[in-house]
């Protein structure tokens, strides 16, 4: 399972939307996620991949694709270390 | 250690609850401040009260949702973690409801199948067999949350009102299926196909009519209705007293009659008398006390949380949810 699929699963589970509607272009608003959904998704992703996503970074995510790209880059960094 | 009158009234309330007996209390917050207050109220050596340290607190201007992530050592987060670890059986907070709710979700978790916690209350004397969900935990709701509210309300109606097959209704602006806002219209369809004993929409004038045992609505509507309902007795008494001012004897009679009405419009022990509402759907007992609670209400909230633990509310809900999640009917 790719990182993108795993992140999509988490977001779909937390927001209770069908994962097929979450594309890389989807915003949290598109999938009707509220601030608590977003925080829960961030925490769940942080725990799964053992990474940290600072608030100031998370606030800049324009869409699901940005979120996934950041997680991918952090995971790659961790693997290098 | 939140609340409009914290820490004084919270500590006094804990001391009062401990004096009532049969409960052990952890006060979570800044240890220095709490120990000073306990000493001031002569409870420094009370073996039923302990102090648990929380090094952070949420400032008034902070978003509670974001703060819980950044401040895992604030008092509500520490309290929620204590329940999760089994160190405590329940937690009570008179601070920010949102912060307590987010902490509970984050650190204690939701029961399987429930998206967000809700507050349940029965409609008191006028409709003894009717409960409303949600009374304020979820201001903006998604359609599927109304289904969660129906599940939670059904368990409440069965366990506390002994109703075998609770009738569920959706509060709306008309009885027809297409009435209400977008979320309510979508919720109608979900409830209709849920397997519940769904009796359709009801309007505000039918809330007390006994048509439904469980009335579901979003927390915004539920909270507005709750406060309006609870104000009726007092407002009616004040208005009538003014009208009969010239006749002192009638004034006494009015007081007697309307004080009874005032009690009749209080919504159940789960809210006012119990010092706040229990968050249903969390994996454990969480009591949200009113921010303006003073010591007696804090003591009531502590006792009410204890009673909820003893009554096995979480376990009952888990059992019913397991049945529902396996495709059974509640």
Give B47-57 pLDDT, tens digit per residue: 899 999 999 98
A29 CB near a chain B CB, below 8 Å?
A: no
CB B167 within 8 A of CB B199: yes
ipTM of this complex: 0.75
Q: B138 to chain A: which residues are within 8 Å by CB?
A: none
- Confidence band, pLDDT 50/70/90 cuts, at residue B233: confident
B231, B236, B239, B240 alpha-carbon torsion, rounded to 10°? -160
Q: B115 to chain A: which residues are within 8 Å by CB?
A: 16
- Asked if A39 and B140 come within 8 Å (Cβ–Cβ), the reply is no
The percentage of chain B sitting over the pLDDT mark of 70, rounded to a whole number, equals 93
Average pLDDT value for chain B: 88
What pLDDT is attached to residue B330?
46
Residue B270 has pLDDT above 60, yes or no: no
- Asked if A43 and B106 come within 8 Å (Cβ–Cβ), the reply is yes
Question: Which CATH number does the domain B1-113+281-330 belong to among 2.30.40.10, 3.20.20.70, 3.30.300.210, 3.40.718.10?
Answer: 3.40.718.10
A59 CB near a chain B CB, below 8 Å?
A: no
Q: B116 to chain A: which residues are within 8 Å by CB?
A: 36
- Confidence band, pLDDT 50/70/90 cuts, at residue B323: confident
- Asked if A43 and B69 come within 8 Å (Cβ–Cβ), the reply is yes
Rounded to whole angstroms, how far apart are CA atoms B227 and B215?
16
Identify residues of B whose CB sits under 8 angstroms from chain A CBs.
63, 65-66, 68-70, 102, 105-106, 115-116, 140, 142, 144
Q: For chain A, which domains are there?
A: 3-80 (1.10.1200.10)
pTM score over 0.95? no
Query: How far B325 CA lies from chain A's nearest CA (Å)?
Result: 15
- Confidence band, pLDDT 50/70/90 cuts, at residue B269: very low
Mean local confidence (pLDDT), B36-51: 91
Residue B188 CB partners (closer than 8 Å, separation 6+): B170, B172, B177, B180, B200, B201
Give A10-68 pLDDT, tens digit per residue: 999 999 899 999 999 999 999 989 888 998 899 899 999 999 999 889 989 999 999 99
Give B178-229 pLDDT, tens digit per residue: 999 999 999 999 999 988 999 999 999 999 999 999 999 999 999 899 888 8
- Confidence band, pLDDT 50/70/90 cuts, at residue B325: confident
Residue B117 has pLDDT above 80, yes or no: yes
E strands, chain B, are: 25-29, 49-53, 90-93, 118-122, 131-133, 167-171, 197-202, 214-216, 276-280, 285-289
Q: How would you class B130 by CB atoms within 10 Å of its CB: exposed for 0-12, middle for 13-18, buried for 19 or more?
A: buried
What pLDDT is attached to residue B274?
53
Report which secondary-structure segment, H or E, holds A47: helix A35-49
Give B294-304 pLDDT, tens digit per residue: 999 999 999 98
Higher pLDDT, A28 or B97: A28
| Domain chopping of chain B, boundaries | 1-113+281-330
Nearest-CA neighbor of B222 among B210, B233, B230?
Answer: B230
Nearest to A39 among B65, B115, B116 (CB): B65
Q: Where are the alpha helices (DSSP H) in B162-218?
A: 182-192
Give B127-145 pLDDT, tens digit per residue: 889 999 998 888 889 999 9
Mean local confidence (pLDDT), B18-28: 95
Q: Testing the interface with B: which of A39, A41, A43, A55 to mutate, by most B Cβ within 10 A? A: A39
- Confidence band, pLDDT 50/70/90 cuts, at residue B160: confident
Higher pLDDT, B292 or B181: B181
- Asked if B69 and A35 come within 8 Å (Cβ–Cβ), the reply is no
């Amino acid at each position: 399972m790719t990182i993108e699929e795993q992140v999509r699963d988490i977001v779909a589970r937390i927001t209770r939307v069908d994962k097929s509607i979450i594309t890389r272009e989807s915003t949290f608003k598109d999938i009707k996620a509220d601030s608590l959904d977003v925080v829960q998704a961030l925490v769940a992703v942080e725990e799964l991949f053992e990474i940290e996503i600072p608030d100031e970074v998370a606030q800049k995510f324009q869409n699901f694709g940005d979120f996934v790209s950041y997680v991918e880059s952090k995971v790659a960094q961790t693997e290098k270390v | 250690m939140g609340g409009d009158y914290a820490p004084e009234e919270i500590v006094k309330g804990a001391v009062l609850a401990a004096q009532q007996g049969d409960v052990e209390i952890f006060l979570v917050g800044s240890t220095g401040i709490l120990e000073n207050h306990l000493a001031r109220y002569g409870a420094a050596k009370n073996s039923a009260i302990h102090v648990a340290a929380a090094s952070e607190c949420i400032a008034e201007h902070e978003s509670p949702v974001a703060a819980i992530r950044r401040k895992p050592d604030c008092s509500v987060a520490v309290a929620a973690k204590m329940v999760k670890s089994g160190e405590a059986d329940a937690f009570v907070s008179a601070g920010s409801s949102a912060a307590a709710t987010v902490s509970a979700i984050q650190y204690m978790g939701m029961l399987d199948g429930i998206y967000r916690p809700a507050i349940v209350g029965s409609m008191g004397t006028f409709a003894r067999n009717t409960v409303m969900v949600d009374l304020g935990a979820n201001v903006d709701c998604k359609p599927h949350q109304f289904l969660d509210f129906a599940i939670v309300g059904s368990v409440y109606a069965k366990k506390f009102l002994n109703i075998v097959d609770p009738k569920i209704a959706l509060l709306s602006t008309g009885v027809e299926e297409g009435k209400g806002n977008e979320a309510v219209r979508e919720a109608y369809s979900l409830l209709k196909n849920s397997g519940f004993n769904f009796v359709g929409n009801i309007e505000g004038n039918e809330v007390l009519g006994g048509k439904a045992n469980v009335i579901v609505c979003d927390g915004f509507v539920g909270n507005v209705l709750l406060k309006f309902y609870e104000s009726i007795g007092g407002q009616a008494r004040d208005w009538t007293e003014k009208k009969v001012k010239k006749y002192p004897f009638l004034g006494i009679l009015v007081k007697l009659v309307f004080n009874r009405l005032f009690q009749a419009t209080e919504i159940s022990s789960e809210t006012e008398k119990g010092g706040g509402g229990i968050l249903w759907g969390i994996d454990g007992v969480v009591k949200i006390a009113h921010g303006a609670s003073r010591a007696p209400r804090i003591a009531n909230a502590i006792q009410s949380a204890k009673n909820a633990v003893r009554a096995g509310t979480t376990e009952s809900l888990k059992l019913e949810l397991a049945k529902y999640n396996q495709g059974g009917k509640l």
